[in-house]
Amino acid sequence: MSSETISHGHTEEASVHSHDSHEAHGHDHHHEESFLSKYVFSTDHKMIGKQFLITGIIWAIIGGLFSVLFRLQLGYPETSFPVLEDLFGKWAAGGRISNEFYYALVTMHGTILVFFVLTAGLSGTFANILIPLQIGARDMASGFMNMLSYWFFFLASVVMFASLFIQTGPASGGWTIYPPLSALGQASEGSKLGMDFWLISMALFIVSSLLGGLNYISTILNLRTKGMSMTRMPLTMWAIFFTALLGVLSFPVLLSGAVLLLFDRNLGTSFYLSEIVVKGEILPNEGGSAILFQHLFWFLGHPEVYIILLPALGMVSEILSVNSRKPIFGYLAMVGSLFAICILAFLVWAHHMFVTGLNPFLGAFFVLLTLLIAVPSAIKVFNWLTTLWKGNIRFTPAMLFSIGFISLFISGGLTGIFLGNSTLDIHLHDTYFVVAHFHIVMGVASFFGMFAGVYHWFPKMYGRFLNNTMAYIHFWVTLVGAYLIFWPMHYSGLAGMPRRYTDWSNWQSFNQFQDMNRFISTVAMIVFAVQILFVFNFFYSIFKGRKVTSTNPWGANTLEWTTPINPGHGNWPGDIPEVHRWAYDYSKDGREFIPQTEPIGADESKH
């Protein structure tokens, strides 16, 4: 083991922690760290993960609050809330949310939740915290790049947050920022300065996500401890690996699209603009194509939904196996289906564009490829259910959220089959059916994966447990609430009720849904309140939670539970443990669990 240090022990300082991975003297004796280097400009992957998580939580509160505000408008279109005018001034004149404000809220809700919470907050958090701990490394391949990744995210957050306060308001053309609306400042208030802030913020965000993704990939491929072959890795690692791969290959394309949009906005070019009249003014732009932007956008946009979902898939697989006290069913099928989803993610973007005048012949291929995603998804569901089957299930909060995730993944996935058909999509496109579909399968399901992860790994992060009573209230209200909010939307969507409208009261055919809308809004507020309970639980438990007394509170096999309860920078005080088996030897040969570090016994049965 020590000979490995000879060959590459004299490299750059940034990689010091990764390269001395097998050094004998270890890392228990630390140099004194200042507050700044420990909590702010930290290069420790665990601290960076926590920074991502807490920033993500703050964004989730803001993004969630926005949805409460616009649900208020949708549920009570005729009522005036003077308090809104006090808070938001001209944006809520007369106590009612103005149209511009509504669009800004919806756009920011989408942007914040999709990118800042479920991309950075989810994979940023768990990739950082789990990768070195689960593969057996001292830290990431480059701790410095990792730190930059967080601070670029922070900068992106600052710019996006600042855009909420400019006079003309933040971007308001939808989170997909389609041109020409987003390209022409004179077209709407939100397309003015707010849009520039949005683009700058997203460019910074993309840089952050690329720096992070590069690091995750090269850490997983290069810094695994002795014996940790790829097929012995926990499924969380596989999921995060594919997530990073998706991000690294798709985000640059969004950047291309955004650069061209910046040109159109600020330099008067015509990439996306052609023959447009705005408010009586004839624009000189000629020959551009707005559809071109959609292609560039959705080439990222579709992989993006898997960037959001895959980490949840991985964490749920791990948590289900640990808490069923059973090996994961079909490990290789799980890896294979992740891979299949990853490949298909790049081949289905045009299913977002069936109604753009896409050639129906071409559309047929995208329908086929889209429906193919049902196959790996079904494999995953089957394997989760068979993992649960006859398991010795422990209903910890993490386990409940994982089971809830499966439920949501099934119900949301089924409606995907409806929408993936180009013929059905003509009717369903831009209706509440779509809203229901992606909120259940991507939004709420990924949130459940994230909650499961937080409940499961909180003891590792802070050395304390979250409060169980609050956790159970959080789970049940959120699960029931999510269904009560989004299930009815399928019906109104099938009836043709369109998205992106502030008020249907003058629209005879959709008046009938007014009571339902009010109901949805009420539930949304209750569910939001329960999320605040979770946030309280989170911060309260960091300081006052029940202390973890054993290194392996869940009886899990993976390497992170072989570290001390509060691991320092470098994770293991002595040698990094060697791995001798896969991560899923539960209930084997009469033993409840066998950690990965235990050598294979002479008379051990094969798994």
Partner 1 sequence: MSQVISEQKRKIHPHKFTLWVAIGSILMMFAGMTSAYIVKRSQASWLMIEIPMMFWYSTATILASSVTVQLALKSLKKREMINYRRLLAVTAVLGVLFIVLQIVGFGQFAAQDIRLVGAGSNASYSFLLAISGLHGIHVLGGVVALVVIAIRALNSSTRSYSSVPLEIAATYWHFVDALWIYLFIFFTWMK
Contact residues toward partner 1 (CB under 8 A) are 3-4, 6-8, 10-12, 14-15, 18, 141-142, 145, 210, 213-215, 217-219, 221-223, 248-253, 255-257, 259-260, 263, 267-271, 284, 286-289, 292, 295-296, 299
> DSSP string of 485-518?
HHHHHHHHHHTT-BSS-S--TT-GGGGGGHHHHH
> Which residues have C-beta within 8 Å of that of residue 476, sequence separation ≥ 6?
none
* Closer residue to partner 1, CB minimum distance, 149 or 517: 149
Contacts of 465 (CB under 8 A, 6+ apart): 458, 459, 541, 545, 546, 547, 548, 553
Encode 322-353: b = buried (16+ Cβ within 10 Å), e = exposed.
bbbebbbbbbeebbebbebbbebbbbbbbbbb
CB of 350 to partner 1, least distance (A): 13
Q: What is the DSSP letter of 431?
A: B
CB nearer to partner 1: pick between 291 and 495: 291
Map residue 582 onto helix, strand or coil.
coil
Smallest gap from residue 365 Cβ to partner 1 (A): 17
Shortest distance (Å) from residue 195 CB to partner 1: 18
Look-up: residue for tokens 């000979």? 3
Rounded to the nearest whole angstrom, what is the least distance from the CB of residue 505 to partner 1 in the complex? 42
Compare residues 352 and 380 and give the one whose CB is closer to partner 1: 352
Cis preceding-peptide flag for 498 (omega within 30 of 0): no
Q: How far apart are CA 134 and CA 236, in angstroms?
A: 9
CB count within 10 Å of CB 552 equals: 17
Rounded least distance, CB 204 to partner 1, Å:
15
Judged by CB, which is closer to partner 1: 17, or 429? 17
CB of 446 to partner 1, least distance (A): 23
Decide whether 260 or 579 has the Cβ nearer to partner 1: 260
Q: Please, what is the minimum distance in Å from the beta carbon of residue 312 to partner 1?
A: 23
Of residues 247 and 567, the one with the C-beta less far from partner 1: 247
First to last CA, the chain: 28
Q: How far is the CB of 179 from partner 1 (least distance, A)?
A: 13
- 271-278: list long-range contacts, CB under 8 Å, 24+ apart: 272/179, 272/180, 272/183, 273/179, 273/180, 273/183, 273/184, 276/180, 276/184, 278/184, 278/186, 278/187
Please give the backbone phi and psi of residue 332, each rounded to the nearest 5 degrees, phi first: -65, -35
Q: Nearest distance from residue 303's CB to partner 1, in Å?
A: 11
User: How buried is residue 498: exposed, middle or buried, by Cβ count under 10 Å (0-12/13-18/19+)?
Assistant: middle
Distance CA 531, CA 276 (A): 45
How far apart CA 175 and CA 104 sit, in angstroms, is 10
